[in-house]
Amino acid sequence: MAKQITWERALVRTGFLFEKEGDTFLFHYENCLNQRLLERMLKDLGVAGSLEQMRFTPATFEVDEEAFMQAFHENRGSHEYFPGVVDAIVLYSLDPYIAGIVRWCAAIGIPTATSCDGHGRRHASLCFHKGEEQYPVLVDACMALLSGGKWQFHYQYQSASGRFMIRQSHRELRERQQERRERGREHGSKLVYEQRWLLDVAEALHDHQDLLSDVVRSMKTTTANQTR
């Protein structure tokens, strides 16, 4: 059964920057490349012509999230370097399931260098620029705060990269081990990594960005004082 979510959540979870005016979404602060991406996506979703003068008023309250993500994937462009500034993020150069994370990380003060959503074959990951080894620590702290310790950003000490993972309970670990044993009996079977939870991470980063911005700022100050 298709999962229906509000247009607002769909846009937030994939990193689009907008304001709301009643039922209308305003994209005045979104860059032109992302506006064009959204226009193409809306065309694929059968709502072309709905984005006029940087305004979008959907005819329905909800959208099929799977179809929305597929439209994002189908309209992606080439990978390009872009500055880690929230209004300069080029969404079409990012993987669909991590685009929102990249944008809202930038919004709270953690710009990224490269990213990958894992494509269902591996853990999603972020890489940072040389000299930014403190950023994985900041991301992991934010993940713990947002999830009560369930989400984590796993990294090696003094490394400028890491992977998004979910901490599992003993029961969940046993179930996963059983699943792997069963899959191992199937010829050519491969482990599939869940991606949808990454959209939950992006949404949580967006919804708590004021709090997280303060946390990141304080942690950066603490780190700077320790290195003096």
Q: Could you read off the pLDDT of 23-76 as tens digits, one per residue?
A: 999 999 999 999 999 999 999 999 866 778 889 999 899 999 999 999 999 998
- Name the residue range of residue 36's domain: 1-75
Domain contains 140: yes
- 3-class DSSP state of 165: strand
Same domain, 66 and 101: no
Same domain, 116 and 217: yes
Please name every residue paired with 168 in a beta bridge, in sequence order, or none if there are none. Answer: none
Q: What is the pLDDT of residues 161-216, one digit of tens each?
A: 999 999 887 787 777 677 766 766 555 555 568 899 999 999 999 999 999 999 99
Q: How many domains does the chain fold into?
A: 2
pTM: 0.89
Q: Name every residue whose Cβ is closer than 8 Å to that of residue 135 and which is 6 or more positions away in sequence.
A: 110, 112, 128, 160
Residues 75, 40: contact at Cβ < 8 Å?
Answer: yes
Residues 123, 160: contact at Cβ < 8 Å?
Answer: no
Same domain, 67 and 103: no
Same domain, 210 and 133: yes
Domain contains 15: yes
Same domain, 24 and 102: no
Domain contains 56: yes
